[in-house]
């Protein structure tokens, strides 16, 4: 059987580029309200939603969003 090199290269690239333990901005934003809720409740948001915490550590945009949301909710609480 002859190997299809192009197919093989695509497969390898898929494996390398796929990081199931990381989420994108959309998913982070979807979970952000839950994350903030936990944070405000004094619970360990980072432990409950480690992927969100991880994203916030690496994404300035979402970090800003998170801090703004947190500040807004604290102000209304």
User: Which parts of this chain interact with Zn ion (CB under 5 A)?
Assistant: 25, 59, 62
Least spacing, CB of residue 7 vs Zn ion, in Å? 33
3-state secondary structure 20-63: CCCCCHHHHHHHHHHHHHHHHCCCCHHHHCHHHHHHHHHCHHHH
- Cβ distance to Zn ion smaller for residue 38 or 51: 51
- Cβ distance to Zn ion smaller for residue 49 or 62: 62
- Cβ distance to Zn ion smaller for residue 4 or 57: 57
């Amino acid at each position: 059987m002859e190997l299809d090199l192009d197919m093989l290269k695509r497969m390898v690239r898929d494996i390398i580029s796929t990081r199931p333990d990381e989420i994108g901005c959309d998913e982070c934003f979807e979970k952000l309200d839950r994350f903030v809720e936990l944070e405000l409740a004094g619970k360990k948001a980072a432990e409950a939603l480690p992927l969100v915490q991880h994203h916030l550590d690496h994404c300035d945009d979402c970090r800003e969003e998170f801090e703004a949301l947190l500040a807004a909710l604290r102000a209304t609480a």
